[in-house]
Amino acid sequence: EPEVTQTPSHQVTQMGQEVILRCVPISNHLYFYWYRQILGQKVEFLVSFYNNEISEKSEIFDDQFSVERPDGSNFTLKIRSTKLEDSAMYFCASSSSGGGQETQYFGPGTRLLVL
Amino acid sequence: AQTVTQSQPEMSVQEAETVTLSCTYDTSENNYYLFWYKQPPSRQMILVIRQEAYKQQNATENRFSVNFQKAAKSFSLKISDSQLGDTAMYFCAFTSGGTSYGKLTFGQGTILTVHP
C-alpha cells in the first residue's frame, strides 16, 4: 500500500540554524500539507500546497518557514533560523483532492529538537 | 473559524469492553467532513474513520463506529471489543468541504488506555 515517507526521523539542531525536513507524498496525490505537534499538544496546521504554490497557511507559518516541491516526488519544509519553540513533531500529509473529499494520509513524522 | 473540542483528556477501558470518545465542533458551514485519527506511542497519525456531513448514515469501520449528530454538532467515536492495540491518543478533526484546500482542524486529543 502506498505511504507517505519523511526524512529524517529525528533532527537535532542548534538555535539559529536552518533545517530542511523532507517528505515524499503518495505518488498520485496533488495536495500536500505540513502540520506540527508540540509535545503534549494538539496537531496544528501549518500550510497546504497545490499546483506548485501555497494555497493556505496558518499564522504559525511566518517568514521563517518556506515550502518547496523541488522535483516530481519531494516536498520540503524549510525553517530558516530555528528557535527553541520550533521543537516539535512535524508531519507531512498528502491527498488526491482538496476540500476533504479525499482523506489526508500522514507520514510518520520528523521529530525536531532545537537546542 | 472552526473549532473542535474533545472534553475528555483521558479515558480507560477494559479489554473487550466498549468505550465512547466525545467530540464537538463549531462551524457555520453545511458541507464538511469529520475524521477520527489514532496516534499510538510511535506518534504516527493513522486514520480510523471519516464521516461526510451530507450523509445521515453513521460511518462504521469494523469495531469502530461514529454517532454523528449534525444539529448538535457532535461526532463521537465508539470502539467495540476494545483491544490492547487500541491504546493511543485519539484526535477528532474537521475540514471544510467548500473552498478549503483541505486544512484539518484538530481537537486536543483523548488518551485512551485499554487495560488487560
More confident residue, B112 or A70: B112
Taking residues B65-73, report their average pLDDT. 96
Q: Of chain B residues 7-36, which have a CB less than 8 A from chain A? A: 32-33, 35
Chain A CB within 8 Å of residue B89 CB: no
Inform me whether the pLDDT recorded for B102 exceeds 90. no
- Rounded to 5 degrees, what are φ and ψ at A18? -90, 140
Q: How many domains does chain B have?
A: 1
> Exposure of B43 by Cβ count < 10 A (0-12 exposed, 13-18 middle, 19+ buried)?
middle
In order of A20, A25, A49, the CA distances from A28 in angstroms are 23, 8, 15
| CATH code assigned at B26 | 2.60.40.10
Inform me whether the pLDDT recorded for A99 exceeds 80. no
Q: How do the domains of chain A map onto residue ranges? A: 5-114
Of the listed ranges A29-38, A42-51, B71-80, B100-109, the least confidently predicted one is B100-109
Answer whether CATH 2.60.40.10 is correct for domain A5-114.
yes
Chain A CB within 8 Å of residue B106 CB: yes
Inform me whether the pLDDT recorded for A100 exceeds 80. no
The answer to whether the Cβ–Cβ distance between A109 and B97 falls below 8 Å is no
Range of the domain at B51: 3-115
Inform me whether the pLDDT recorded for B100 exceeds 70. no
Of A41, A55, A99, the CB nearest to B98: A99
Taking residues B43-72, report their average pLDDT. 93
Tens of pLDDT along A45-98? 999 999 899 999 999 999 999 999 988 789 999 999 999 999 999 999 999 877
Inform me whether the pLDDT recorded for B20 exceeds 70. yes
Q: Which residues contact B95 (CB under 8 A, 6 or more apart)?
A: A99, A100, B32, B33, B35, B102, B103, B104, B105
Inform me whether the pLDDT recorded for A105 exceeds 70. yes
All three cell numbers of B101? 484546500
**A111 vs B contacts (CB less than 8 Å):** 43
CA separation for the pair B9, A52 (Å, rounded): 39
Residue of A nearest to B42 (CA): A108
Mean pLDDT, chain A, rounded, equals: 93
